[in-house]
């Protein structure tokens, strides 16, 4: 081959490479030029979250949160993967996603094989009716009917909260056949597909989440067998940040959380706007929106700090609802045979959580920071007075565990034995300086109902007075209510009349929140 021919071939090859390089580089050049000559030049990066259509994720992926995050220099994108949890965890592990949402149980189930690729940085919500088992009324009118129908067909999304709800019901209602593989299993590609299979007659029962629960129940041919409103800390939705994002972009994590909680606060203060935005996004009518919103309980920043992540003044006991939820999910999955033993690294649930971002936001609030040095400071915060309407607008956080408080028979006079329980309760209240307290008095079932309501109210007020006089707790923080016999406790299995009657007269303390 002559030197001229070699040179020609070399030039031809180089020219071809240059043309191909220019062809592939041109879109990138145009994209860079477009960015540099627009307002997008100030964008610090793009944050991608793997999600599905569960309404609990709506505030996170709302235009309100995206607008706030954009103002901080980041573009926010929510990528709906139709509830493919396994693929979502893989994408998180491979760096395609910066963040992902999941229920605690689905993360344990799908994240174990990938060495748990994300850290739980926030609790988003708890399902309270938003997940449900729905059936064709004529085929399966109730859960007991499942026991008599081994050939029933159930559509559900595998390795998802739907399957976790199904496993829990199988264990709690003695339905062992649902813990084994068989013809009853109709695997669906997300809740909309499960609903379609139910409506098409391919399944007799479907495990759904909102908005599909509401869509199904809008037809009287279908009935809800059981929902997550009948459970506690069973289906808890969390936000995961990839390990890489936590290490390399901690500022972005902080920005996303801060702006998300601000958006959640905005929606909390404007429920009408929330309803309108959810309706518009999902093309839903008012009844469907109401059912959806009633089925989800969002976790505020205060609740994340104090109740889920246990961010409290140094050295004090902590309430760690998130760790409890992880441990509970592991127990169900092991019992269902998904794992022979706990899949958590070293059996340690803390390897899945990262409280630093919630702690930074929570403790940055002036009233929280001021109370961080001394437990007693948690009782010293002053509160503005509220009228009845103001108290009614507050959101219940939870009811504190409390030892029985004794009163002299038929009176509102505190017994000496009750002071120790009240003192211990005051110490517990010191851990939650941001919350107001509703003190609820209850009586037994006997006697005059009107007189009992008055007595229960005076007893609640006696407890409030004790806290104010003994610990200088602001009276504006406390509200005493009397319910008399109208809210009896559920009777325990095998409980005697005497034991039941003993438990009914009681005082309960419920924390309520006025901020998000």
What pLDDT score was predicted for residue 500? 83
| pLDDT at position 109 | 93
Does this model's pTM top 0.75? My answer is no
The chain-wide mean pLDDT, for the chain, equals 85
* 77-91 mean pLDDT: 94
Amino acid 425: pLDDT: 84
Does residue 143 surpass a pLDDT of 90?
A: no
Instruction: Assign domain 45-126+234-363 to a CATH class.
Output: alpha beta
**Residue for token pair 């246990």:** 310
In sequence order, what E strands does 342-477 have? 395-399, 436-442
All CATH 3.40.190.10 domain ranges of the chain, comma separated, are 45-126+234-363, 131-230
Read off the pLDDT of residues 199-234 as tens digits, 9 standing for 90 and up: 999 999 999 988 899 899 999 999 998 888 767 677
Q: Which residues are paired to 236 by β-bridges? A: 126
How high is the pLDDT of residue 431?
63
Task: Tokens for 386, please give them.
Answer: 């509220």
- pLDDT on residue 195: 97
Provide mean pLDDT across the span 312-323. Answer: 68
CB crowding 421-437: b at 16 or more within 10 Å, else e: bbeebbebbbbbbbbbb
Residues of the chain with pLDDT > 90: what percent? 47
CATH 3.40.50.10330 fits 374-513, yes or no: no
Q: Is the pLDDT of residue 117 over 70?
A: yes
Whether 85 and 190 have beta carbons less than 8 Å apart is answered as no
- CATH assignment of 131-230, given 3.40.190.10, 1.10.357.10, 3.40.718.10, 3.90.870.10? 3.40.190.10
Task: Please compute the mean of the pLDDT values over residues 396-407 and round it to a whole number.
Answer: 76
β-bridge partners, 136 = 222
Rounded to whole angstroms, the Cα distance separating 335 from 341 reads 9
Tens digits of per-residue pLDDT, 470-516?
888 999 999 999 999 888 888 888 888 888 888 888 888 888 876 54
| Contacts of the segment 286-290: beta carbons below 8 A, 24+ positions apart | 287/214, 287/218, 288/211, 288/214, 288/215, 288/218
Parallel, antiparallel or unpaired: strands 506-513 and 395-399:
antiparallel
Highest average pLDDT, of 307-311, 357-361, 498-502, comes from: 357-361
Residues of the chain with CATH 3.30.1330.60: 374-513
Ranges of beta strands (E only) in 128-257 are 131-136, 154-156, 185-187, 205-209, 222-227, 236-242
- pLDDT score of 262 more than 80: yes
**pLDDT reported for residue 412:** 87
Arithmetic mean of pLDDT, 3-31: 66
């Amino acid at each position: 081959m002559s030197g001229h021919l070699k040179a020609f071939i070399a030039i031809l090859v180089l020219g071809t490479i240059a043309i191909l390089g220019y062809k592939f580089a041109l879109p990138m050049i145009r994209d860079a030029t477009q960015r540099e000559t627009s307002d997008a030049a100030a964008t610090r990066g793009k944050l991608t979250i793997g999600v599905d259509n569960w309404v609990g994720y709506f505030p996170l992926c709302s235009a309100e949160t995206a607008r706030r995050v954009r103002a901080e220099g980041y573009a926010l994108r929510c990528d709906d993967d139709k509830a493919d949890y396994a693929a979502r965890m893989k994408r998180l592990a491979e760096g395609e996603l910066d963040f992902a949402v999941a229920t605690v149980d689905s993360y344990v189930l799908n994240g174990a094989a990938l060495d748990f690729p994300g850290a739980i940085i926030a609790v988003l919500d708890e399902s309270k009716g938003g997940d449900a088992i729905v059936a064709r009324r004529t085929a399966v009118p109730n859960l007991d009917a499942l026991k008599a129908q081994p050939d029933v067909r159930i559509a559900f999304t595998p390795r998802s909260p739907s399957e976790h709800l199904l496993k829990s019901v199988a264990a709690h209602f003695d339905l062992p056949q649902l813990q084994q593989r068989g013809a009853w299993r109709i695997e669906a590609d997300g809740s909309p597909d499960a609903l379609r299979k139910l409506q098409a007659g391919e399944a007799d029962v479907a495990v759904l989440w909102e908005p599909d629960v509401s869509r199904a129940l809008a037809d009287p041919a279908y009935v809800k067998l059981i929902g997550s409103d009948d459970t506690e800390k069973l289906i808890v939705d969390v936000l995961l940040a990839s390990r890489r994002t936590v290490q390399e972009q901690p500022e972005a994590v902080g920005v996303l959380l801060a702006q998300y909680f601000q958006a959640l606060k905005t929606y909390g203060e404007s429920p009408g706007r929330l309803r309108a935005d959810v309706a518009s996004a999902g093309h839903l009518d008012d009844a469907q929106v109401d059912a959806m919103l009633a089925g989800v309980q969002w976790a505020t920043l205060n609740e994340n700090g104090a109740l889920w992540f246990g961010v409290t003044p140094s050295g004090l006991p902590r309430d760690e609802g998130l760790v409890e939820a992880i441990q509970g999910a592991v127990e169900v999955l092991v019992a269902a045979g998904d794992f022979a033993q706990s899949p958590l690294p070293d059996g340690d649930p803390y390897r899945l959580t990262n409280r630093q971002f919630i702690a930074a936001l929570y403790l940055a609030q002036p009233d929280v920071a001021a109370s961080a040095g001394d437990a007693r400071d948690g009782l010293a915060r002053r509160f503005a007075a509220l009228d009845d309407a103001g108290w009614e607008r507050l959101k219940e956080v939870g009811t504190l565990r409390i030892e029985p408080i004794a009163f002299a028979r038929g009176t509102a006079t505190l017994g000496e034995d009750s002071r120790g329980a009240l003192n211990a309760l005051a110490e517990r209240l010191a851990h939650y300086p941001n919350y107001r307290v509703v003190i609820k008095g209850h009586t037994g079932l006997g006697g005059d109902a009107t007189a009992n309501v008055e007595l229960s109210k005076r007893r609640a007020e006696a407890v409030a007075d004790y806290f104010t006089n003994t610990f200088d707790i602001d009276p504006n923080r406390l509200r005493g209510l009397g319910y008399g016999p109208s809210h009896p406790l559920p009777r325990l299995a095998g409980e005697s009349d005497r034991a039941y009657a003993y438990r009914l007269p009681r005082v309960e303390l419920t924390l309520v929140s006025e901020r998000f």
